[in-house]
Amino acid sequence: MPDDLLEKTGPDYPLTTLQEDGQSGRNGVATLQRLSFWQRIQASIEEARKRTLGVFLKALAERKARRDETSFSIALIALSAKMAKADGVVTEDEIMAFRDFFSYPPEQESKVKMLYGLAQEDVAGYDLYLKQVAKLYQNECPVLEDVLDCLFYVAMADGVAHPQEIIFLEKAAEIFDMKPSAFRRLKALHMGIGNDDPYLVMGVEEDISDIDLKKAFRDLVKQNHPDVMVARGVPIDLIKIAESRMASINSAYEKIIAERLNVARVK
């Protein structure tokens, strides 16, 4: 553990129960509670550097680590790095995309780049990383959709999603066991493909009943509520991505309702 973190442990910065039980080093996980977000990121980097970031993610998943903003951020950065490597072209835009939604201070940029580099240096394939993240968030479909939503954002950072990035995103949806409708909705929101189709944006079929349509809309509103997202471990700085997602869903719902009212009037 870095000296600066050791100095901050004590009454105000207690270690986790695992550490108090003398198990902090097992499986390469050193999860710290009540340290600042960036202190926990630094501690995670130190653990990952002892092995590989892939092994560290595996340990998080196997231990069923607390799924907080640190775990989410590490998973997202690692997968983004693997996606960039799959494309074969690593651009500064992709790295800087994190600043747009993480809003991290300039002095913390080295930590983001360090995690990014550790993931790219790891010889393990991206499918292994995807499986580890899927295991970490097993049975947490909304969280995995949050991850994929952010990955779309990173893929489009340079203005276009390259073929290998699309393949990566499709593979992620498959490994995450995501509903095809959810993937089509994200693709439409980020790439404009079918974005003029409100049913596609909402991820529902055109013959859905009015009652089921309202239920689907309410479920989406609940899923994207800031408090609910924070509770499932999404960093507060990423909430604005969900706000953009929800704006498109609101617009799509209103469009469907308006179209159905017009049809009813004609009849």
Each residue's pLDDT tens digit, 149-205: 889 888 887 777 888 889 999 999 999 999 888 888 888 888 876 557 888 888 888
Residue 174 and residue 195 in one domain:
no
Q: What are phi and psi of 7, to 5 degrees?
A: -65, -25
Of 130, 147, 178, the residue at which a domain comes to its end is 178
Residue 214 maps to a domain? yes
pLDDT at 31 over 70: no
- How many structural domains compose the chain? 2
Task: Express each pLDDT in 101-147 by its tens digit.
Answer: 666 777 888 888 888 888 888 888 889 899 989 988 888 888 888 88
Residue 115 and residue 78 in one domain:
yes
pLDDT at 208 over 90: yes
Residue 183 maps to a domain? no
Residue 55 maps to a domain? yes
pLDDT tier at 25 (50, 70, 90 boundaries)?
A: very low
- List the domain range (segments joined by +) for residue 209: 189-267
CATH number of the domain that 260 lies in? 1.10.287
pTM value?
0.72
